[in-house]
Chain A
Amino acid sequence: MRIDQKYQKITLAWLLCIGLGFMTYQLNYTPTKSFVGFWSGQSAVNYGDHSLSIKMQLVVDDAKSESARLIVNFEPNEKNASTFHTNVTSNIQILNRSGTEMTFSLTEFNYTNKKALEAFIDRELPSKGVVISGVSWATSKDEIFLYLTLPFGEKMGVVLRRHN
């Protein structure tokens, strides 16, 4: 059956529009989109007979930039211990994403009151950054779970909840 050339052109234009819509979504989409916002959680790690409280705040920026900031606050977990506060801030950059998995790195560590933390854990932290590795999962729309290995091999899990 011969189809009028005009209708062929219109059909082709519509198909191009479908492709355009598809590409528009793909270009605007990033896996971090679902996680944009402010997240926080708390955990504790044992160092011998000491227990260190770790409060973690994660700020995932606008999805387009695919970046985030991590703010970690350290303080003694025991009430009778001498109080100190150490803060660490770092940027998070997405390195790779494949399917539902993302790989990211922590950069630009910035400590405040680093010495107090080193005294508490009785170890010296590396002067140029620290090596932290781990994995994380989304447990629900507003909750993620991080399981990390800290610089001296300490394991730490923390549930971060989204705050609106």
Chain B
Amino acid sequence: MSKLTLEPPVYLIGEYYYSPTSGVVSKKRVLTRLRAKESALLNALIDHFPHILSREQIVKELYENTYATDATINQLVKRLRNVMDDDLRSLIRTIPKQGYMLTVEPKCLEIHYGTQTIAQKYIASEHKLIEPITANINDLNRINTVDSPSQNETRFRIFNAITVMGAILSVVIGYALGYAFTYSPRYLEQMTESEATQLSINELSLTPTVIVDSEKNTLAIHLISEGETVHCSYQDKITLCE
């Protein structure tokens, strides 16, 4: 989807900026792209200002070689009013039995690109009754670069989501740190029988030592108790100490 921009020529219709080139309307820095037919209808309304745009003219200009009923036109006008927040029909007025007209004079903005000026007088001559007024493209660009509320809302939601996810992750990290910094059981030193034969009983008993077989099953435990070496054998699930 292309970026929404107000490309020259740009009209000011009440509070709205409108670019027939890009088919974009802007109000209070909110840019909305019109559908092709909506844009064409608005163009026709501008062209015919201050006169009434009849249904026949709409059919002729917008639906040439096609078929359009009254309902089709009603629906199109309704959509354009919705886009332009014209619920009260104060911008696009219905003239009973005749057609539609803009209630506000569309003004063509004369666009300046820094020092370079693009004359928009041909537009003025094309739309004879429209007086060109000047505007700086930078001002319009400033409008374009400002985020719309929906974009802000999306960013706000993403920001919130990241904040919440970060908080959850932080709790998990804290829990993991708690685990890492907590004492875990320390097991007695284990030694195989072959390793144990190379040491004396006294050496084995200095720190309690567990003698295990090749399958890590306990066979005996050596320890020192009250200055005496103790040898405990473990066979058939019975412990015998000497």
Contacts and interface: CB of A to CB of B under 8 A. Distances in A.
Contact of A41 (B223, B239, B241): B239
Interface stretch (B29-37, B56-64, B164-172): B164-172
A25 B176 CA distance: 8
Nearest to A26: B178
Contact of B188 (A10, A138, A141): A138
A35 B186 CA distance: 12
B210 interface: yes
Contact of A139 (B167, B188, B240): B188
Most buried by B among A21, A23, A41, A161: A21
Contact of B225 (A26, A34, A141, A155): A155
Interface in A4-46: 10, 13-15, 17-26, 29, 31, 34-35, 41-44
Given A140-B187, A159-B221, A18 B182 contact: no
A18 B170 contact: yes
Contact of A100 (B174, B179, B186, B238): B186
Range class of the A interface residue count: 35 or more
B239 A42 contact: yes
B232 interface: yes
Most buried by A among B175, B221, B239: B239
B184 interface: yes
A137 interface: yes
Given A14-B166, A22-B177, A147-B230, A100 B185 contact: yes
Given A14-B166, A21-B178, A147-B230, A139 B241 contact: no
A10 B160 CA distance: 10
A145 interface: yes
Contacts of B225: 147, 155
Given A10-B163, A99-B183, 6 more contacts: A14-B167, A17-B171, A24-B175, A25-B174, A140-B216, A145-B210
Given A44-B238, A156-B241, A157-B239, A15 B183 contact: no
Most chain A CB atoms below 10 A, which of B166, B175, B216 = B175
B237 A161 contact: yes
What 8 pairs across the A-B complex have the smallest Cβ distances?
A21-B174, A25-B178, A17-B170, A157-B241, A18-B174, A21-B171, A21-B175, A157-B232
